[in-house]
């Protein structure tokens, strides 16, 4: 049986972006990006501040338009203003600072903001708000004012507000950077759940261990994609990542260093359990049963 | 290290909006002792009370009865304490540089502290230059730049320089590296450690992330719900990952690996705190 | 001693959840009561009229089950100022002021000081009107969430949109402002603390605390404004990302509906205010 790839939901060809293109010193932030994102992908983009990750994200939902090249969402070109609203309701985006995304003074009313803008009729509005709050596990807080919530809870409300538009793609622009470990865990759980339900996720982060969540990792540097692959593939290139001054998850770092001392030790491990399994395998019989 | 702690906190309580229907208790009997030259971490989830505690160190918040806060031998309950001098000795860096910078020009902003200390123009200039060198901001290039035109990382350095310009004996960093990308974080921490070693600068790091302080501090206080719930060396604290998880915290992956091995009855001699230690320990285990 | 947390102590306008008759009224009804009775208060200069109004507004506050102590706690910081103004009114206003319902009678005179029955009436009536307005404000803001107040006002302004009044935009502006005020207050607190940590003299409680130099104010306002603008930039992106394009074609989760009790209360308060206005010059004293 032949396996043909499904149509990409986002297709980027030769994308260049310049900030202040007309000025004396335009900033060439994206230098020729080619990318295809498929439905159901969980794509993680890592890179330094200034690598262009955020600029790339904003080109996905027409917050920015290419200075050269094309971005297509569901076959619609972002350059065409007639498609802007359709694209924005298909590619939802959550930003870094939870407070600066919340408009209303009551949680459920904020979640309704997106679909209200789309003119969704009243009873469907109520359904969507309930569903979205349920997915991020914030239903019990529906009537509370946002300033009483923790940062992690606010970020989940922001995700609900975006999901209430029923987008096919969810983009998270460093959405966990300002959260404590608990908040991060809760957000990642919600996102994982959404991805399992079929939502395409594009997560931009500088936390390496979050990159392990995805099925694909992109490494960006100075406006270009410099590495691409599964998390395992990408992280096993420890030296290259070091040269880019990027971290690898500690687990991969451990495996790599052990591999340097003993070439039979696999260098491309990702999860805590994998490292423990490998060590156990090698000490079998010597440890207590 | 001297005998008497530099900062001593006993039975400290605090609540916000006292005597109103919206009262919120922030601290429920906190005890801490920080010695000169020490480097401590104060870790806990948001709302644990960490910022409230450190704002007592420099007198921004005064202790409520019966709590006692003694800073460099001075009792902070005494209204006659010269709070200005305390704030010269104890420097506090907040989370976002935009909260700390306010002068139009970078040089002027960093000079604010020295100016308030009554330093003369020429001395001030020297001090500002010193502070900027400490953080890696070129004096000539940055002193006349507009403060708010700097990049995020540059502003962070400027804010730190503004506090270092007081030449404090202790530096508190209140979540000053949250949201900062790993490379910039490392640079910042390296500079601070240099100051710590070369100038005996006492350091306190406040953070919700264990990884931020692993390998950097001599002692960790874990806080939750207004109390100190764990206190010990990094290794001692990392030996209890379950308890840390209960308090909304985690341990670095290398420590998790060690605990996983131990739970499978594979011996690990010492709980590792950094990747280097972890690799050493695992190597020992594999070859024993 | 410094007080950095003064901004946290602002309790006026704080919503207190409850289940009273007043809590359950449509916000438009409550806004209307507020408007109608405020107009009546504005034109009421007699003792009788104000006694009636004090009792009426007190009755409404009691109906809402908001504790009186809470209502009055909000004005505590203003009391010294009120007393000063009252004394000045008593001493200096009497000359040439014609009291309601009686002949002007001077009790004491010395230079520019004229204590008359008129100035006395003025002080007492002013105090009563102040209390009435306090009750009315509390009635509205302590029993209604800010969200409901803005929805109510948007709804009431909607008929005027054909005359160019942007009711939706105004309501959104109000909502966003209310949403961000506590955040900016927090930010200001941190800014003050950061500057104090470097040696600035800020937020001193006690003697002459309100004398600050323009420089000190600038040092606080500039970073606050920059923070506000940064937040605004972020918010714009977020709103665009959520397809905000203005009021065209928007639906609404919240739909306000009048119940029978609303019509009753609305009618009664309108009638009461009209009566008070009509009779304002016919009261005995």
CA-CA distance, B187 to B264, in Å (whole number)? 38
- Tell me the shortest Cα–Cα distance from C114 to chain B, in angstroms: 42
Confidence of residue C162 (pLDDT cuts 50, 70, 90): confident
Distance CA A135, CA A196 (A): 12
- At residue B3, the pLDDT reads 67
pLDDT tens, A173-196?
999 998 988 899 999 999 999 999
Residues of B within 8 A of C73 (CB-CB) are 20
C4: which chain B residues are within 8 Å (Cβ-Cβ)? 60-61
Q: Residue ranges of the alpha helices (H) in chain C?
A: 21-24, 27-42, 47-64, 68-73, 79-92, 117-141, 146-157, 167-197, 214-241, 260-278
Burial C114-135 (b: 16+ CB within 10 A, else e): bbbbbbbbbbebbebbbbbbbb
Q: Quick check: C243 and A100 CB within 8 A?
A: no
Question: What's the pLDDT score for residue A2?
Answer: 54
Q: Do C243 and A106 touch (CB under 8 A)?
A: no
Q: Is the pLDDT of residue A134 over 80?
A: yes
Q: How many CB pairs under 8 A join B and C?
A: 73
Of residues B22, B60, B99, nearest to C223 (C-beta): B99
Tell me the chain B residues in contact with residue A273 when contact means C-beta distances shorter than 8 Å. Answer: 260
Share above pLDDT 70 across residues of chain C, in percent, rounded to a whole number? 93
Percent of chain A with pLDDT strictly greater than 70: 97
Mutation choice for A interface testing from C153, C253, C255, C256 by most A CBs within 10 A? C253
Residue A289 has pLDDT above 50, yes or no: no
From chain C, the residues in CB contact with A120 under 8 A are 251
Which chain A residue has its CA at the smallest distance from C255's CA? A122
Q: What is the pLDDT of residue B2?
A: 52
Chains that touch A (3 or more CB pairs under 8 A): B, C
The whole-chain average pLDDT of chain A stands at 92
The string of pLDDT tens digits covering residues C89-136 is: 888 877 777 788 787 888 888 888 888 888 888 888 888 998 899 899
Task: State the smallest CA–CA distance between residue B84 and chain C in angstroms.
Answer: 6
Q: What is the pLDDT of residues A157-166, one digit of tens each?
A: 999 999 999 9
| pLDDT for residue A285 | 53
Instruction: For residue A102, give Cα distances in angstroms to A113, A173, C183.
Output: 9, 16, 12
Instruction: Tell me the C-alpha distance between C213 and C215, whole Å.
Output: 5
A245 touches chain B (CB under 8 A): yes
Confidence tier at A112 by pLDDT (50, 70, 90)? very high
What pLDDT, on a 0 to 100 scale, did the predictor assign at position C204? 61
Per-residue confidence in pLDDT tens, chain B, 288 aa:
456 789 999 999 999 877 766 788 999 999 999 999 999 999 999 889 999 999 999 999 999 988 999 999 999 999 889 999 999 999 999 999 999 999 999 999 999 999 999 999 999 999 999 999 989 899 999 999 999 899 888 999 999 999 999 999 999 999 988 778 777 888 888 888 888 998 899 999 999 988 888 888 999 999 999 999 999 999 999 999 999 999 989 888 999 999 999 999 998 989 998 999 999 999 999 887
ipTM passes above 0.85 = yes
Q: Is B17 on the interface with C (CB under 8 A)?
A: yes
- Chain A CB contacts of C145 under 8 Å are 105-106, 145
**With a CB-CB cutoff of 8 Å, which residues 119-178 of chain C face chain A?**
145-147, 150, 172, 175-176, 178
pLDDT at A98 over 90: yes
What is residue C102's predicted lDDT score, i.e. its pLDDT?
A: 80
Q: Which residue is closest to C149 within chain A, CA to CA?
A: A105
B248 and A253: CB-CB below 8 Å?
A: no
Q: What percent of chain A has pLDDT over 90?
A: 77
Contact with chain A for residue C182, Cβ under 8 A = yes
C244 touches chain A (CB under 8 A): yes
B106-109: long-range contacts (C-beta < 8 A, 24 or more apart)?
A: B106/B137, B106/B142, B106/B143, B106/B144, B106/B145, B106/B146, B106/B147, B106/B150, B106/B158, B107/B142, B107/B143, B107/B144, B109/B147, B109/B158, B109/B162
User: What is the percent of chain C where pLDDT is above 90?
Assistant: 42
Give the span between the Cα atoms of C262 and C27, in whole angstroms.
9
B183–chain C nearest CA distance, Å: 25
User: Among residues 216-275 of chain B, which lie with CB inside 8 Å of chain A?
Assistant: 248-250, 252-254, 256-257, 260-261, 264-267, 275
Chain C: touching chains (3 or more CB pairs < 8 Å):
A, B
pLDDT of residue A137: 94
- The mean pLDDT of chain C is 86
A211 confidence band (pLDDT: 50, 70, 90): confident
Determine the distance in angstroms separating the CA of C256 from the nearest CA of chain B, rounded to an integer: 29
- pLDDT at site B210: 86
Mark yes or no for CB contact B92/C194 under 8 Å.
Answer: yes
Contact A181 B45 (CB under 8 A): yes
Average pLDDT over residues C245-257: 89
Nearest CB to C179; choose among A97, A102, A116: A102
Question: How much is the pLDDT for A102?
Answer: 96
Q: What is the pLDDT of residue B238?
A: 92
**What pLDDT digit, counting tens, does each position of A217-264 carry?**
999 999 999 999 999 889 888 889 888 888 888 999 999 999 999 999
Q: Which helix (H) or strand (E) holds A14?
A: strand A10-19
* Residue from A148, A283, A284, A289 whose CB has the most chain B CBs within 10 Å, to mutate: A283
User: Are A129 and C253 in contact (CB < 8 Å)?
Assistant: yes
Q: What is the pTM of this model?
A: 0.88
The overall longest dimension of chain A from CA atoms, in Å, is 71
Chain B residues whose CB is inside 8 A of the A249 CB are: 253
Q: Concatenate the DSSP letters of all residues of chain B into one string.
A: --SS-SEEEEEEEEEESTTSTT-EEEEEEEEEEE-TT-EEEEEE-TTSSHHHHHHHHTTSSPPPTT-EEEETTEETT-TTS-HHHHHHHEEEE-S-GGGT--SSBHHHHHHHHHHHTT--HHHHHHHHHHHHHHHT--HHHHTTSBGGGS-HHHHHHHHHHHHHTT--SEEEEESTTTT--HHHHHHHHHHHHHHHHHH--EEEEEES-GGGTTTT-SEEEEEETTEEEEEE-HHHHHT-HHHHHHTT----HHHHHHHHHHHTT---SS--SSHHHHHHHHHHHHT-
Residue among C178, C243, C253 minimizing CB distance to A109: C253
Using pLDDT thresholds of 50, 70 and 90, give the confidence band for residue A212. Answer: confident
C 198-237 → A contacts, CB under 8 A: 230-231, 234-235, 237
Min Cα separation C123/chain B (Å): 31
- Give the closest of B183, B253, B286 to A48, CB-based: B183
Residue of C187, C194, C229 to mutate, testing the B interface (most B Cβ within 10 Å of its Cβ): C194
Q: Which residues of B touch C227 (CB under 8 A)?
A: 98-99
CA distances to A192, C8, C22 from C12, in Å: 43, 11, 18
A103 touches chain B (CB under 8 A): no
Test mutation, C14, C188, C197, chain B, max B CBs within 10 A: C197
Partner-chain contact A117 C175, CB within 8 Å: no
């Amino acid at each position: 049986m032949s396996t043909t790839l499904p149509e990409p939901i986002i297709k980027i060809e030769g994308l260049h972006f310049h900030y202040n293109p007309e000025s004396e010193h335009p900033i060439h932030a994206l230098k020729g990006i080619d990318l295809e994102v498929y439905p159901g992908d969980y794509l993680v983009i890592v890179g330094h501040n200034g690598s262009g990750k955020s600029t790339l994200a904003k080109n996905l939902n027409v917050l920015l338009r290419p200075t050269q090249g094309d971005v297509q969402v569901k076959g619609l070109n972002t350059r065409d203003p007639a498609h802007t609203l359709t694209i924005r309701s298909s590619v939802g985006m959550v930003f870094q600072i939870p407070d600066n995304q919340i408009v209303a003074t009551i949680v459920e009313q904020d979640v309704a903001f997106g679909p209200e803008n789309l003119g969704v009729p009243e009873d469907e509005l109520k359904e969507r708000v309930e569903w979205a709050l349920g997915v991020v596990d914030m239903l019990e807080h529906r009537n509370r004012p946002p300033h009483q919530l923790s940062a992690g809870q606010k970020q989940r409300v922001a995700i609900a507000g975006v999901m209430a538009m029923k987008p096919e793609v969810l983009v998270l622009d460093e959405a966990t950077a300002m959260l404590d470990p608990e908040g991060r865990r809760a957000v990642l759980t919600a996102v994982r759940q959404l991805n399992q339900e079929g939502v395409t996720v594009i997560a931009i982060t500088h936390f390496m261990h979050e990159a392990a969540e995805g099925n694909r990792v992109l490494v960006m540097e100075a406006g270009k994609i410099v590495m691409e692959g599964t998390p395992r593939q990408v992280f096993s290139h420890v030296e290259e990542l070091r040269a880019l001054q990027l971290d690898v998850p500690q687990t991969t770092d451990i495996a790599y260093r052990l591999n340097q001392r003993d070439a039979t030790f696999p260098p491309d491990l990702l999860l805590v359990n994998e490292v423990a399994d490998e060590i156990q395998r090698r000490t079998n019989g010597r440890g207590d049963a | 290290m001297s005998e008497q702690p530099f900062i001593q906190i006993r039975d400290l309580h605090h609540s916000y909006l006292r005597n109103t229907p919206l009262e919120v208790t922030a601290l429920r009997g906190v005890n801490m002792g920080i010695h000169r030259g020490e480097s401590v971490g104060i870790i806990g989830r948001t709302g644990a009370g960490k910022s409230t505690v450190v704002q007592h160190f420099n007198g921004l918040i005064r202790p409520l009865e019966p709590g006692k806060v003694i800073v460099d031998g001075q009792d902070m309950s005494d209204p006659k304490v010269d709070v200005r001098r305390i704030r010269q000795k104890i420097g506090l860096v907040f989370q976002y540089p935009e909260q700390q910078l306010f002068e139009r020009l970078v040089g002027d902003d960093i000079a604010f502290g020295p100016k308030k200390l009554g330093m003369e123009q020429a001395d001030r200039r020297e001090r500002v230059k010193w502070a900027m060198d400490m953080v890696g901001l070129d004096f000539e290039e940055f002193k006349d730049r507009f403060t708010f035109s700097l990049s995020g990382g540059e502003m962070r350095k400027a804010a730190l320089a503004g506090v270092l310009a007081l030449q404090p004996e202790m530096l508190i960093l209140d979540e000053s590296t949250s949201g900062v990308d790993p490379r910039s974080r490392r640079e910042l921490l390296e500079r601070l450690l240099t100051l710590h070693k070369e100038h005996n600068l006492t350091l306190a790091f406040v953070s919700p992330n264990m990884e931020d302080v692993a390998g950097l501090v001599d002692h960790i206080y874990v806080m939750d719900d207004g109390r100190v719930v764990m206190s010990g060396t990094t290794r001692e604290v990392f030996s209890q990952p379950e308890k840390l998880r209960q308090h909304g915290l985690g341990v670095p992956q290398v420590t998790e690996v060690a605990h996983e091995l131990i739970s499978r009855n594979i011996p690990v001699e010492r709980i590792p705190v950094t990747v280097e230690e972890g690799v050493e320990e695992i190597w020992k285990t594999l070859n024993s | 001693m410094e007080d950095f947390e003064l901004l946290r102590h602002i309790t006026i306008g704080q919503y207190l959840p409850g289940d009273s008759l007043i809590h359950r009224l449509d916000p438009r009804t409550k806004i209307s009561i507020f408007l109608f009775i405020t107009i009546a208060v504005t034109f009421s200069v007699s003792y009788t009229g104000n006694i009636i109004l004090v009792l009426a507004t007190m009755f409404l506050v009691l109906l809402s089950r908001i504790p009186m102590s809470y209502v009055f706690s909000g004005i505590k910081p203003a009391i010294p100022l009120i007393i000063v103004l009252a004394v000045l009114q008593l001493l200096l206003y009497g000359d040439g002021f014609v009291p309601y319902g009686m002949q002007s009678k001077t009790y004491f005179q010395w230079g520019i000081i004229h204590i008359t029955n008129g100035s006395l009436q003025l002080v007492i009536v002013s105090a009563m009107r102040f209390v009435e307005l306090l009750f009315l404000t509390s009635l509205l803001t302590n029993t209604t969430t800010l969200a409901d107040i803005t929805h109510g006002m948007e709804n009431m302004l909607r008929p005027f949109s054909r005359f160019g009044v942007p009711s939706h935009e105004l309501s959104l502006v109000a909502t966003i402002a209310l949403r961000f005020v506590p955040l900016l207050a927090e930010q200001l607190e941190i800014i003050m603390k950061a500057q104090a940590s470097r040696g600035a003299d800020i937020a001193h409680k006690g003697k002459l605390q309100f004398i600050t130099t323009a420089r000190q104010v600038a040092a606080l306002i500039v970073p606050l404004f920059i923070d506000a603008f940064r937040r605004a930039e972020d918010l714009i992106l977020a709103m665009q990302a959520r397809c905000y394009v203005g009021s065209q074609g928007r639906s609404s989760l919240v739909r306000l509906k009048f119940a029978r009790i609303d019509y009753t209360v609305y009618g009664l308060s309108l009638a009461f205010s009209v009566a008070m206005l009509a009779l304002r010059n016919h009261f005995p004293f």
